[in-house]
Structure 1
Amino acid sequence: MLFGLAVHREGWSLRLAAQDPPAVEESAPAKPEDKGEEKLAAPVKVEVEPIAEDRQIERRLLRILTATEWFTEPDVRVDEGVVFLAGMARREEHKNWASELAQKTQDVVAVVNRMSVQASPLWDLRPAWREAEDLGRNLIRSVPLMLLALGLILLTWLLAGISHRLARFTFDSKLRSPLLAEVAARGITLLVFVIGLYVSLRISGLTQIAATLLGGTGLIGLIIGIAFRDIAENFLASVLISVQRPFSLGDLIEVGANMGFVQSVTMRGTLMMTLEGNHLQIPNSIVYKSIIRNLTSNPNVRLQIDIGIGYDDSISNVQQVILKVLQEHEAVLDNPEPMVLADTFGTSSVNLRCYAWIDTSKHSGLRVRSSLLRLIKQAIQDEGVSIPDGAREVIFPREIPIRILDPQPAVAHETKAATMLYDGSSTASAKPIVAPTANSDDERREAATEAEAGLVSEAEEIKEQARNARKPEGGENILATEVETPDDEGVDEKKQ
Structure 2
Amino acid sequence: MRSVFFCLLFLALSGVVLGEDAAPATEVKVKSGVQDEEIESRLYDIFSEVEALQEIQVSVRSGVVTLSGRVPSRAIAEEAVGLVKRTEGVVMTLDRMAEETEVASQLSPALQKLRDMWTKTKVKLPLIGLAIITVFLFVWLGNLFHGKEIWYQRLKVSSLAQNLVRRTVRVVVIGIGVLLALELLDATSMVGAVLGAAGLVGLAVGFAFKNIIENYLSGILLSTRNPFEIGDVIEINGRTGKVAVLTPRDTVLITLDGNHLRIPNSIVINSELLNFTRNPRRRFEFTVGVSVDADLTEARSLALETLRKNPGILADPKPIAFIDSLGDSSVVLKFFAWLDQTKHDFLKTKSESIRLVKCAFDNAEIEMPEPIYRLNLDGVPVAMSASAEAPQELEEKGEFAKPVKEVVVSEEDLAADHSIDEQIEEEKEHSDERNLLIEKSAKTE
- Considering the TM-score relative to the shorter chain, is it more than 0.5? yes
Name whichever of 196-205 and 400-409 sits farther off.
400-409
Q: How does 1:186-335 map to 2 (within 5 A)?
A: 186-335=167-316
Specify the alignment match of 1:483 in structure 2.
Answer: 441
Contact 1:89 1:95 survives alignment (8 Å): no
- For residues 410-445 of structure 1, what are the alpha-carbon distances to aligned partners after superposition, in whole Å with 9 as ceiling and x for unaligned? 934799xxxxxxxxxxxxxxxxxxx9575444x7x3
Q: Percent of aligned positions with the same letter in both sequences?
A: 26
Matched, 1:403 2:383: yes
Q: How does 1:115-134 map to 2 (within 5 A)?
A: 117-121=96-100, 126-134=105-113
Structure 2, unaligned runs of 5 or more = 1-31, 34-43, 72-76
TM superposition shift of 1:292: 0.5
Q: How does 1:80-479 map to 2 (within 5 A)?
A: 88-91=68-71, 92=77, 117-121=96-100, 126-135=105-114, 137-139=116-118, 141-142=120-121, 144=125, 146-165=128-147, 168-396=149-377, 398-406=378-386, 411-412=391-392, 439-441=403-405, 445-448=407-410, 454-458=413-417, 460-468=418-426, 474-479=432-437
1:209 to 1:247, Cα distance in 2 relative to 1, 3 A: same
In structure 2, distance between residues paired with 1:122 and 1:347:
103
In structure 2, distance between residues paired with 1:471 and 1:350:
53
Contact 1:255 1:287 survives alignment (8 Å): yes
- For residues 134-172 of structure 1, what are the alpha-carbon distances to aligned partners after superposition, in whole Å with 9 as ceiling and x for unaligned? 135415633625544332221221222233345x53331
In structure 1, distance between residues paired with 2:384 and 2:251:
67
- What is the DSSP-based 3-state SS (H/G/I as helix, E as strand, rest coil) of the residue aligned with 1:479? helix
Contact 2:219 2:249 survives alignment (8 Å): yes
TM superposition shift of 1:471: 8.9
TM superposition shift of 1:28: 4.7
Give the aligned CA root-mean-square deviation in angstroms.
Answer: 4.0
Structure ranking higher in helix proportion: 2
Contact 1:262 1:271 survives alignment (8 Å): yes
Specify the alignment match of 2:51 in structure 1.
Answer: 35
Task: Using structure 1 for the length normalisation, give the TM-score.
Answer: 0.68
Contact 2:244 2:427 survives alignment (8 Å): no
Partner AA of 2:113 in structure 1: D
Contact 2:230 2:243 survives alignment (8 Å): yes
TM superposition shift of 1:116: 7.2
Structure with max Cα Rg: 1
Partner AA of 1:401 in structure 2: P
Specify the alignment match of 2:20 in structure 1.
Answer: none
Contact 1:305 1:355 survives alignment (8 Å): yes
Task: Using structure 2 for the length normalisation, give the TM-score.
Answer: 0.75
The number of equivalent residue pairs is: 394
Name whichever of 375-384 and 183-192 sits farther off.
183-192
Partner AA of 1:399 in structure 2: G
